A and B are shown apart, each in its own frame.
Chain A
């Protein structure tokens, strides 16, 4: 009942509206009927007038002919000019097209004397026999259609032509003009037809296409047979009438009226729309006006109701908006999210706008479909579980703990979702409050993490101390123990050498342990930085081979280095750190691979992010002991070593992989491991390097080597060589066995197109590289340089190879730079005939040199003095930086060959001393090589030394190999001074 009352006004309005429509329809139907009747009456009236006018016209023509007849009868001379003039006057007045004298034999003549014939058909009988005036159609020669009005005349003669009747003709076009009316929008057609339907006249513009309109009506109209019968009956009985029918798709009114002469009928055909067009316009205007009036009245009646309703609705909406706005403002300043859903369809009625800030979900998106929140859910996939919501009783509530992730930032937040099921204005709603618990959750997590960290740190500390205790004590124990034994057996040289060797080994191990601990400490404290400089990748790989091949060889392992593709040779990076990473990985592989095992080291180029970068992947794959899945998770953690019967026998600090991982991270790369116990491990490091500018080696190759032959049983290597050298403009041919290489070289020789260089793999199935070289020399001669490409130490075959005619060796993997180093001297020999200067440091490079050593530690100074002396070099010691500066400043030019500078010294440290030396006025102040010799061995220490003006850096304890190498490099441009000695 309450609902009925609510809709009562609408029902009443609908009833009133329906009544108005029914009354309107009835009224307009009545009006339409009246309008149609008036319109057809109008049509009849208009064409009645036309018909009467046409009748008068016909009557007048016959009157005209009668007057002509009288005139001719009175004329004394029927061929006289008077008749001609009379007719000409009448023609001017009446406008007929021609006048005819007609003879009873059908011939006719015009007043000008032009004779022809006229076929009047049945009308002729009326005219001649029954002496009645006639009106008929006639087609003249040439096709012109005319209507002829003829009347009997008293027999006479005109221009010797005997006539019995006279006639005038009008062109049908002229005559039709008299039937045209301006009404009916020009859409009316009017015909004068015989009662059989044949058309005499038509008002159609330009002529007529109708021969018989009755036939046309029968063919195309929708009039039924009875209608036709009635109409034809009317036509035959000279009765007027009006019919409605469709012609094609258009309704027409067809009005027929007897003309009153013979059987002629005036037929008017007008589209029904045109008949009542004017009235319809009035009708439509009336309808429009009435409709407007009704609408106005209705609007006036309804307007107050609508206005009041709208006002109330507007106020409600405003109040709602205010509330929503206020709630929006309140919710925007809190981290709780509020939603209201329709319980029936789960549509969102309200959602607080802070959902975008807190969860990254646009409000509109959430409003359209609340399910979008599922995208943020971390631990609760169905955010609003329908079943569980339905289970909440009305006025009850339920809550869940939820974790969400911000869509944009990935930030995680924790909420307690409380759902209240309630009824608001008789509509059931779910009000959902997501209370932010993030702070509490994070605090709890932090507390847990802190607890875990503390426990872990404690455990790590214990482990560390335990490891350190063990790892330091072990070599220390050896050092102390063998030192005691050394003292005891000092007189036995054999034992002294044995003990010294063991003390040295233990010292080295202890040193590496300390280095690793310090490295790790430095990295973890975030103080490690990279020393980026240009370096040669081939050199790096060569150095790795030099260092690691002996180790692998000692365990009878195969260590092969592959370079896939053609990575650039010169790159920018921290060579020292990269070396460290790769040595760690490779030495681990050697370490954890049993004797006779296989280790592959692969360098491959990956697509780089930008043209100025190169991305390299270093893969170290072994078939060693492998790692368990659990250990793989902690392999990069400090002090982690897998416990097994094998590893227990292997020395190590457990810091190497942690350092490696940290260094890779520092260099912005990634390191991954795949392993299976007993099957081996694969470590993959991916790093990006900046590319330096080109060094122009391509030009060198292009100018000297046009063609070269490569033979290697591994086709990939041949392809790599071809790619690398092809880029340098060299045309590379390759074969995959030694015999083919010989064949190719001989064929080229016989063509007179010797290769400029032949590069042969050492170990190939069948004919190996050395044998192939021998055969080539026998058949081709000595002119072509032949080089051997090998990944093995060629020392064992060098003598035999050179006897076979091999000029040089190129290490695998193939690089343009190493190839150039090998080939350059050969080309120099060719051009300068044994005048090529020797490159590289000569043995005994330190012999005869005098060093200024700045070292505050007396023991270190003593050790260094002894070591230099062992190399045949002398030194003078300064105990601090100040003294070193003074000694150098006071020295004669050329006195010292080099300064070895400790960094941490009292009075003046090594950096300051170096700067002062470089700034002093000594002639060699800027050129004297100064090398840091310090226990500070980190990258920034190296950089600081170079920044201070030093030329190199050597770490303590002193490694004489490194000293020799550096001294050789720095001093090879100056000959050793004479008489250098220690002081």
Chain B
């Protein structure tokens, strides 16, 4: 999702960053902090803005370590292993973070004053399973849900669903009268199902804990089978249309703007970054309702997946690093950085960003049904690509529902084994090598 979600832009600023990174040690009082992140992440305008603000305001220089996206995880892991860990480390709160041994390397930020300024969903995202605040979320926030063509539904005298039964009824009614209810880009799009899986684990943390200890599998969780069954049924009933197996990321925009489908599962900022209104419908024609895939009756929204600034607890410049985060979390600084950026608030004091009207209109429903991103970030061994692969096999008729769930389990357990997660067997090729 992230690869497509945010386009790299402002190469000029990247050049500026590079110049900054190559400059010599500071003559000022403060230490030179090292900030490590993906090149494309650090090229975001609000990131370059906050870094520039810091350097200008404090006179301290920052040593920016920007790795190419593809090699970021392995390069960063190597630096941590070699004792070259940065003072400030940028990373999403997902399964890949497990590589970096949070207990040993990252400072818990629970007592920082800016924590109270975080929105509930942003704070929930940044907390680990023990409630420790892992980092400062400094990123575009979004709400993922079921975005539907309000204009079409209004023209049909129909209204958005509030329950799973209504959603199914809506899909069937639309199908009966010749509409494709859902744009389901099965070819390479890997995020659709993680929204529906969030409530299974967010609403029952014990279930997540047992899954992550390898005490249970997806197959032991009826809701997972329900979700897979719903997807199979929906495809069978024609709710995804006929050509969904060949639709990928690039087709979502054209399909939705042309009215080729009435609904899709996406996030609000997509309408600002990737949706080209070159068809009959513009983003103003769309509205938001929860995602329904038979995992929770009232549906669900997924909160944003946020890049966090984390502090190296072993850093020689720990205090300066905490000061740097405090600087970033100051309203006057983040409001300047996010000025004009389309994002849902991460900070309660955020005022200069553009709030999506769709999100604003659905705020009551979002408040009632939003979950923090759980499946993708908290399930050990979760790989969106693996789940997509299993579901693709299902939709191609190569396996049945039980087989699909079994594949999801096998992929997850293997991946967890590769990561060396406790309780999971190492894959055969690794264990053989000692």
Could you tell me which A residues sit within 8 Å of B by CB distance?
A: 142-143, 197, 204-220, 247-250
Contacts and interface: CB of A to CB of B under 8 A. Distances in A.
A209 B169 contact: yes
A213 B157 contact: yes
B176 interface: yes
B158 interface: yes
Nearest to A250: B176
Given A204-B169, A247-B177, A248-B178, A211 B368 contact: no
Residue among A142, A209, A210, A219 having the largest count of chain B Cβ atoms under 10 Å: A209
B110 interface: no
Interface centre among B158, B169, B170 (most CB of A within 10 A): B158
A213 B156 CA distance: 8
A740 B393 CA distance: 70
Contact of B163 (A197, A207, A216, A217): A207
Contact of B158 (A143, A211, A249): A211
A208 B176 contact: no
A216 B162 contact: no
A874 B51 CA distance: 132
A584 to B, nearest CB: 76
Given A214-B157, A219-B156, A209 B176 contact: no
B176 A206 contact: no
A211 B163 contact: no
A597 to B, nearest CB: 78
Contacts of A212: 157
B165 interface: yes
A247 B165 CA distance: 21
A353 to B, nearest CB: 55
Contacts of B166: 206-209
B155 interface: yes
Interface in B381-407: none
Nearest to A213: B157
A214 B158 CA distance: 10
B173 interface: yes
B169 A207 contact: yes
B177 A220 contact: yes
A197 B157 CA distance: 9
Contact of A215 (B157, B176, B298): B157
B368 A219 contact: no
Contacts of B158: 209-211, 216
Given A214-B157, A216-B156, A143 B162 contact: yes
Given A220-B177, A248-B178, A210 B157 contact: yes
Contacts of A216: 156-158
Contacts of A250: 176
B161 interface: yes
A288 to B, nearest CB: 31
Listed from nearest, the 6 A-B pairs whose CB atoms lie closest are A206-B165, A215-B157, A216-B157, A212-B157, A211-B159, A207-B166
Contacts of B169: 204-209
Given A209-B158, A210-B157, A211-B157, A248 B165 contact: no
Nearest to A209: B170
B176 A248 contact: yes
Contact of B161 (A209, A218, A219, A249): A209
Contacts of A210: 157-159
A644 to B, nearest CB: 85
17 contacts: A205-B169, A206-B163, A207-B166, A208-B159, A209-B158, A209-B159, A209-B170, A210-B159, A211-B158, A213-B157, A215-B157, A216-B157, A216-B158, A219-B155, A219-B177, A220-B177, A247-B176
A261 B155 CA distance: 28
B241 to A, nearest CB: 16
Nearest to B159: A211
A213 B178 CA distance: 17
Interface of B: 153-159, 161-166, 168-170, 173, 176-178, 298, 365, 368
B149 to A, nearest CB: 13
B143 to A, nearest CB: 18
Contacts of A249: 176
A214 to B, nearest CB: 7
B173 to A, nearest CB: 6
A285 B222 CA distance: 46
From A205, A214, A247, A248, name the one whose CB has the most chain B CB atoms within 10 angstroms: A248
A209 B157 CA distance: 8
Nearest to A249: B176
Contacts of A211: 153-154, 157-159
Contacts of A213: 157
Most chain A CB neighbours (cut-off 10 Å) among B153, B154, B159? B159
Contact of B173 (A142, A143, A209): A209
A219 B162 CA distance: 23
B370 to A, nearest CB: 14
Given A208-B169, A215-B156, A247-B177, 10 more contacts: A142-B368, A197-B157, A207-B169, A208-B166, A209-B158, A209-B166, A210-B158, A211-B158, A215-B157, A216-B156
A207 B164 CA distance: 10
A207 B177 CA distance: 19
Nearest to B158: A209
A248 B157 CA distance: 15
Contacts of B170: 209
A143 B368 contact: yes
A52 B159 CA distance: 29
A235 to B, nearest CB: 14
B331 to A, nearest CB: 32
Contacts of B154: 211, 215
A211 B154 CA distance: 8
A217 B155 CA distance: 10
A212 B163 CA distance: 19
A219 B165 contact: no
A139 to B, nearest CB: 9
A255 B158 CA distance: 20
Contacts of A205: 165, 169
Contacts of B156: 215-216, 219-220
Nearest to A143: B162
A213 B169 CA distance: 15
Contacts of A247: 176-177
A227 B298 CA distance: 39
A626 B76 CA distance: 93
Contacts of A143: 162, 298, 365, 368
Contacts of B162: 143, 207
B178 A219 contact: no
A215 B177 CA distance: 14
A208 B170 CA distance: 8
Contacts of A214: 157
A207 B157 contact: no
Contacts of B159: 208-211
B263 to A, nearest CB: 12
